[in-house]
Chains A and B, each alone.
Chain A
């Protein structure tokens, strides 16, 4: 298929991006004052113990040499060893990646489930009461701090109504999904407000636009006008918005992970930064970057799939 050709060479463009990210993270985390060895040893550290640990993890080497080793490792598909957890960073990440991915995925699905009908409702009643209500909710809903919202949801749905577990991540697929409902809802509530606004605007424009007029002039029922013409055309700009937001989400789930005790990457990252676990910070940053890149890549493919005009 001619129009999907960019799939082949697009990844090449991302190599410099990933390289840039590795370099920046590397330098950045080492600029942070504080010493991983000292964090590891805790309050009872002594200088000799610190020196021993530094030597063990190669932290006493010049920084450029450390970076060189890092790249060398990376080329072999390794990311070094965690100072705090004493295992391979890549292995550590594989143990933590699933909840974050699942959370992001569920949140996105949920927010689409919320946003598409509401935006449709609002757009079709443009100016009517339904529109006003949806607009009000979506404008108001944007400002809720997620951690606050999360606690309120827990207190209401889990403690009062006992509908969902307070926190945690389940054992099997069904159980996991069940555990993910509230966390995803927290994210979806704010993400969907953004989507609703974008979709609603696009839909209203399309509903008033030439396309809809032409369809109506052909005597198409309003349902066909809306679902066959207006909706697909309004989705195009939203896909990109969604991609940017997913990219933002991937690295930003930490608050929700932490409130809901999901054993994901966000928590891993925050703890790694606080304990100066350099290798883990680098590794997680790389994984996040790859994920973001991947999401944009998928968004490109989706856009091309929806919209034949787009050629990369």
Chain B
């Protein structure tokens, strides 16, 4: 159904090649995964299919994208619009910035249906509600009337997916569609996709870093590195017997439980203490009324100690981000106390100075980067607060951080919009750690990173901890990563901490039923997958 030949993408008509002669085929009802290094051109390749490359990037003339007998690179804009949405649906990598902040969810979902299927109002509403229910959004009716900023990262990702799948396209391109989803929801979403392929013959092109998920669900895989497809074939074969060097490194980087195990006890004193914190989001003003307030966190107690990594896992929308933001003082708790370094509450006034000790990596790196600053300036910024530091020292430190997070110094002079998703995420991490803070809230810091880079980052965190004894609140859905980096784990559900304990206790001997469900649903790839057929496994489920 889709046949990509020699897809080449360059910066401007004659510039650098971002994607280099990429070719692959995808049949109706088939699923294929595009995996590979962060920044290797996966996103751009996918966007090229729909003709939606960002400004200076262009598809080279020799490229062919054949879809149902027509070449998409040569289609008239009008015909192309008929293809978009209805024939080929695409889920973008950054759900946070892909939803229109000023339009209600219901309207954004209805739009495609109205356009391509010409359905009645009631019908549209029914289908939207049904879809929201499938992807486990609570109170779907309320959701339709709400605006994107009222949702958590994972919820927005699901809404994006829902609005695209709702149209039952012939080809579904999903760019990292489950990075912000907990394992339970992730499984539901993938099942939904499989169902779509089987019922409608939809073809799925999935871009992902999650080899576990790929091995469980996707029969075919293309591995990309530096713009080129370095390997392709059935996932079982490619993943069992990788021939290319990069693929091998990728598999080597699969997360393992860190040897260090529980260091938790030894470096004693609490650095952050949270007591009985309740957080409400105020309702929205209507002309003569106000929508009701929403409680995101219901009385949480939590302590993070110096030098430890506390992983916060839990359902999407359970309040993890909210809690993290409250700790750094971006959200004011409705009640309860949060103290940092023994001092209470973070008022803007005393944030200066003391706040340097506390940093955050936002869940959505794109919108947390100033679009008008260059990457090197963004990363160097926290250092500017330290007046004792000379410009040369600063320069050196930035250089060092660039290598630490695996960014080439080519990126120094770029702007955020000129990076890939994973690269942006690393910029955000680099900015958080460059000043060597005592405490970092890292909200899904590795969700957009491929295994090799992810491993590098996780090791970096451990190493920094060993060297500088800093503490980290590590919010993640990726239990593999959590296993690798955490000292202790807290599990959150519906705004409450339902379980907290040493890492091995929680993972090996979960107490709460919800924790158990989460762990069961995790598609951790383990060394044994080579022996079992992942497809069969998926079918068995």
Bind each other: no
B residues contacting A by CB (< 8 A) are: none
A residues contacting B by CB (< 8 A) are: none
